[in-house]
Structure 1
Amino acid sequence: MLKFQILGAIEIQSPLCTIRPKGTLQRALLATMLVSEGHLVPTDTLIDEIWGSEPPDGVENAIHAHVSRLRRKLAPLEEGDRSTQLVTHPRGYRLVLGDDQLDALVFSNGYERLKEASGPSAKVAADCRHLLNLWSGSVFGGPVGGPTCQAAVAQYDEARRAVQERLFDCELDDAQHERAIPELRRLLITHPYQERLHQQLMIALYRAGRQTEALQVYRDLSRGLAEELGLTPSPAMQAYEKAVLDQDPVLNWSSIVGPTAAQRALVRPSPVRN
């Protein structure tokens, strides 16, 4: 069975070999087919993704030629005499995919299950790490395609951040704050204005007995927002600073700090493990 990877460099994997498609047009074609996750892709969409507002003369013939080229690339990798996965329809093309053939589809399905997951924090954290291990880099390995591909990149990246945040919440619940600290610091290099990551790092540092460093996380964010965006931290973010300054007991049993006592009362405490 063929495997396709887009959570990193675009790859086509088979038991025999791994292929990384070359050429901007071929990569855009394959990327668009893959982010459609097995659904029909209209010819007009492919034209827009590959050439944008400046398609060449005879563009439909050009599309057919590029699809034929991709089909020839897939043919030696497909098993036995089975018909090709790249199917032509009157309105466009479809790359038939099983649920486990595309890493992004595996990730998306796992993310949907994770949103409803409950149970021990350590088990949920392990599930989060399993999903995050599907990623080997940025989607497609870098910019490719047009609006459809760009929308898919935003969707996958947003889901990835949500899984990362869930992971750190679970690790904080499981008293794994020392493990979370270096990973949170690395993430904040590429996501310097993600407040939830700052909040989780402040909690982790505070529980590790590093109150001064926890406060510095807030001050660095505040300075960065002011200098780069002309903004101030949100009220929720300010509540974390106040909680650290006050050595609020809520920091020892919850990763959620509300700006008011009433909001804090909505969070049920759980025992802290040493």
Structure 2
Amino acid sequence: MQFRILGAPELYDEKRHRRIPLTSPKQRMLLGALLARANSPVPRERLVRELWGALPPKKARNTLNAHVSGLRKALTEAEPERATTPRLVAHACGYLLQARRTEMDSGQFCLAVDQAQRMCRIDPQSAYATLRGALGLWRGTALEGGPHGPVCAALVARLEEERQQALEILFDSALRTGRHRRIIPELEEVTAAHPLRERFHDQLMLALCRSGRGGEAIGVYTRARHRLTAEHGHTPLLSARLEQISVQSPVLYGAEAETPDARTRLEAEPPPTGAREFTRPRFTVKRIEQEDPAARSVMGFLTELLSGQALHTGGV
């Protein structure tokens, strides 16, 4: 049995390779609410609130019981061998649905993300493959298909945050394994979908630099900075990345570039011996008033960068 909530809630019979249809949107909402508190009793009053909001119908409890019966029937159809030991059981205060973490697509996803996070630095290739598979579990937005009460809304928010963290790790792993060109379209898509997620913009800047598109990376900085500054008041990751670009830091082309220290200026270090070969763009730096661009502040140098006076991308 697999409980699926990374998309519209559904049941999947893994033995017979078939989906078990749920007969109504309310039944799907009930499944989502019970899985949000899997293995713990969910009070009837909370389930009523999840299904009907603050103004439930007069006979909401009776209707809830009917939806519980329908869901229990679907569960028995999916697992006839458990007819005498049902997963969905009644308690004095409400209902409890038994489900192991590995039986839920959300649980499988979170376990894979944890594993990939541990592997990212020591085995980025395996981390990348693990996350590609885990992200494939998503069929849409979590608990897709209807409004959410407090319980389900909290679960949706947590899973969406987990999904964005997984994408960050995926892109880090891709950058560590030379897939910078491949992920540019995906990064452009996620930065458009999540414009306040600074790390995505930072990763896009790095992927563009490694693809010989430094000028476009500066454009990403300019567009993202205005919005992020208005929202958060600062852009530490992007400012650190821009400083690397402004001094043509070799660290842009080594593994260290994927997690810049935004608190201090990153020192230029050559890639380690045996590191992957990245296509490094040729930059032409022009001095202005005999000043060293590396000695200027990031913000002071930005105007010249954007005007083309200080930095020119010569291609590969």
Q: Output the TM-score relative to the length of structure 2.
A: 0.77
Query: Which of 117, 120, 139 is equivalent to 2:123?
Result: 120
The C-alpha deviation readout for 1:59-113, integer Å capped at 9, x for no partner, is 3333222211221232222233442211111121111113332101111233333
Instruction: Call closer, same or farther: CA 1:96–1:188 in 2, change over 3 Å.
Output: same
Matched with 1:61 is 62
Instruction: Call closer, same or farther: CA 1:270–1:45 in 2, change over 3 Å.
Output: farther
Matched with 1:110 is 112
The C-alpha deviation readout for 1:190-234, integer Å capped at 9, x for no partner, is 1122110010010111011111111111122134447xx566651
In the alignment, structure 1 residue 46 sits paired with structure 2 residue 8: no
Matched with 1:190 is 193
8 Å contact from structure 2 (residues 9, 29) kept in 1: no
8 Å contact from structure 2 (residues 181, 207) kept in 1: yes
Matches within 5 A, 1:110-149: 110-117=112-119, 119-149=122-152
Matched with 2:309 is none
Matched with 2:28 is 27
Matched with 1:217 is 220
Instruction: Call closer, same or farther: CA 1:191–1:270 in 2, change over 3 Å.
Output: farther
- Tell me how far apart the structure 1 counterparts of residues 98 and 231 of structure 2 sit (CA, whole Å): 48
Counterpart amino acid of residue 211 in structure 2:
A
Mean CA deviation greater in 132-141 or 67-76: 67-76
Deviation at 1:249, TM superposition (A): 1.9
In the alignment, structure 1 residue 160 sits paired with structure 2 residue 159: no
Instruction: Call closer, same or farther: CA 1:243–1:20 in 2, change over 3 Å.
Output: farther
8 Å contact from structure 2 (residues 22, 74) kept in 1: no
Counterpart amino acid of residue 149 in structure 1:
C
Matched with 1:258 is 261
Deviation at 1:178, TM superposition (A): 1.3
Query: Which of 174, 180, 184 is equivalent to 1:181?
Result: 184
Query: Which of 93, 96, 99 is equivalent to 1:97?
Result: 99
- Tell me how far apart the structure 1 counterparts of residues 49 and 91 of structure 2 sit (CA, whole Å): 18
8 Å contact from structure 2 (residues 236, 263) kept in 1: no
Matched with 2:7 is 8
Aligned-partner SS, 2:196: coil
Counterpart amino acid of residue 116 in structure 2:
L
Mean CA deviation greater in 109-118 or 197-206: 109-118
8 Å contact from structure 1 (residues 24, 144) kept in 2: no
The C-alpha deviation readout for 1:8-55, integer Å capped at 9, x for no partner, is 122211226313435332222111012223332122221221122212
Two-structure CA RMSD over aligned residues (Å): 2.4
Structure 2 residues without counterparts, runs of 5 or longer: 278-316
Counterpart amino acid of residue 98 in structure 1:
R
Mean CA deviation greater in 241-250 or 132-141: 241-250
8 Å contact from structure 1 (residues 4, 101) kept in 2: yes
Instruction: Call closer, same or farther: CA 1:161–1:268 in 2, change over 3 Å.
Output: farther
Higher RCO (C-alpha under 8 Å, 6+ residues apart): 1
Aligned-partner SS, 2:3: strand
8 Å contact from structure 1 (residues 10, 20) kept in 2: no
Mean CA deviation greater in 13-22 or 30-39: 13-22
8 Å contact from structure 1 (residues 171, 177) kept in 2: yes
Aligned-partner SS, 1:116: helix
Instruction: Call closer, same or farther: CA 1:16–1:109 in 2, change over 3 Å.
Output: closer
Aligned-partner SS, 1:13: strand
Q: Output the TM-score relative to the length of structure 1.
A: 0.87
Runs of 4+ in 1 over 4 A off after TM superposition: 223-226, 229-233, 267-271
Aligned-partner SS, 2:103: coil
- Tell me how far apart the structure 1 counterparts of residues 191 and 38 of structure 2 sit (CA, whole Å): 31
Deviation at 1:269, TM superposition (A): 6.2
The C-alpha deviation readout for 1:156-175, integer Å capped at 9, x for no partner, is 01111111101111111222
Deviation at 1:115, TM superposition (A): 3.7
